[in-house]
A and B are shown apart, each in its own frame.
Chain A
Amino acid sequence: MATIHPKLSDELSQTVVSSTKSVKIKIKRSNPNVNSEQKFDDFVVPIEKWTTVLDVLLDVKSHLDHSVGVRYSCRQASCGSCGMKINGKPGLACFTKISELDSDTVTVEPMDNYPVVRDLAVNMDRMINNHKKVMPYVIREDSEIDAESGIREFLQSPENVDKYIQFSSCIKCGLCNSACPTMAMDKSFVGPQALAQAYRYIADDRDKGKNKRLKIIDESHGIWRCHFAGSCSQVCPKGVDPAMGIQLLRGYLLGIRD
Chain B
Amino acid sequence: MERETGAREGLKGWLHPGKIGKFGIERLAWLLMRLTGLGLLAYFIGHIYETSHILDGKAVWDKSLEMTQTTEGHLFLALVIGMCVFHTGNGIRLMIAQMGYGIGKAERPDYPYKPQSINMKGKACIYATLGMAALAMWYGMAVMFA
Given A112-B13, A167-B106, residue A230 in contact with residue B27 (CB < 8 A): yes
Given A185, A227, A234, which contacts B33 in the complex, CB threshold below 8 Å?
A227
| Least Cβ–Cβ distance between A198 and chain B, in angstroms | 14
Evaluate contact between B24 and A234: CB separation under 8 angstroms: yes
Evaluate contact between A228 and B107: CB separation under 8 angstroms: no
Q: For B99, give the chain A residue with the smallest CB separation.
A: A256
Evaluate contact between B115 and A112: CB separation under 8 angstroms: no
Evaluate contact between A187 and B24: CB separation under 8 angstroms: no
Contacts of A30 in B (CB 8 A): 5-6
Evaluate contact between A230 and B99: CB separation under 8 angstroms: no
Given A247-B117, A250-B100, residue A229 in contact with residue B106 (CB < 8 A): no
Evaluate contact between B7 and A203: CB separation under 8 angstroms: no
| Least Cβ–Cβ distance between A31 and chain B, in angstroms | 9
Evaluate contact between A243 and B109: CB separation under 8 angstroms: no
Kindly state whether residue A215 has any CB partner on chain B within 8 Å.
no
Evaluate contact between B23 and A228: CB separation under 8 angstroms: no
Bound CA–CA A237/B109 (angstroms): 11
Mark interface residues in A209-253 (1 if CB within 8 Å of B CB, else 0).
000000000000000000111110110111111011101101100
Kindly state whether residue A162 has any CB partner on chain B within 8 Å.
yes
Given B30, B99, B103, B111, which contacts A181 in the complex, CB threshold below 8 Å?
B30
Kindly state whether residue A183 has any CB partner on chain B within 8 Å.
yes
Among B4, B97, B113, find the residue whose CB has the most chain A CB atoms closer than 10 A: B113
Chain A interface size band reads: 35 or more
Given A118, A229, A248, which contacts B23 in the complex, CB threshold below 8 Å?
A229
Contacts of B24 in A (CB 8 A): 230, 234
| Least Cβ–Cβ distance between B65 and chain A, in angstroms | 36
Given A234-B23, A243-B103, residue A112 in contact with residue B108 (CB < 8 A): no
Evaluate contact between A162 and B115: CB separation under 8 angstroms: no
Kindly state whether residue B9 has any CB partner on chain A within 8 Å.
yes
Bound CA–CA A112/B98 (angstroms): 26
Given A230-B115, A241-B117, residue A163 in contact with residue B106 (CB < 8 A): yes
| Least Cβ–Cβ distance between B99 and chain A, in angstroms | 6
Interface-side segment among B14-22, B55-63, B134-142: B14-22
Evaluate contact between A229 and B30: CB separation under 8 angstroms: yes
Evaluate contact between B11 and A185: CB separation under 8 angstroms: yes
Bound CA–CA A169/B106 (angstroms): 12
Q: For B23, give the chain A residue with the smallest CB separation.
A: A231
Kindly state whether residue A76 has any CB partner on chain B within 8 Å.
no
Contacts of A203 in B (CB 8 A): 106
Evaluate contact between B6 and A122: CB separation under 8 angstroms: yes
Evaluate contact between A244 and B8: CB separation under 8 angstroms: no
Evaluate contact between A241 and B115: CB separation under 8 angstroms: yes
16 cross-chain CB contacts under 8 A? A33-B3, A115-B2, A115-B4, A115-B7, A116-B5, A123-B2, A162-B106, A185-B13, A187-B7, A227-B30, A229-B29, A230-B30, A244-B104, A251-B100, A254-B98, A257-B100
Other A-B contacts than A110-B6, A187-B8, A241-B109, 17 sampled, CB-CB below 8 A, are A32-B5, A88-B18, A118-B2, A164-B106, A165-B107, A184-B12, A228-B98, A228-B117, A230-B115, A231-B23, A233-B117, A239-B114, A247-B99, A247-B100, A250-B99, A250-B100, A254-B98
Seen from chain B, the residues whose Cβ lies within 8 Å of a Cβ on chain A are 2-14, 18-19, 22-24, 26-27, 29-31, 33-34, 94, 97-100, 103-104, 106-111, 113-118, 122
List 6 tightest A-B contacts by C-beta distance, closest first: A184-B13, A239-B113, A239-B109, A233-B115, A229-B30, A244-B117
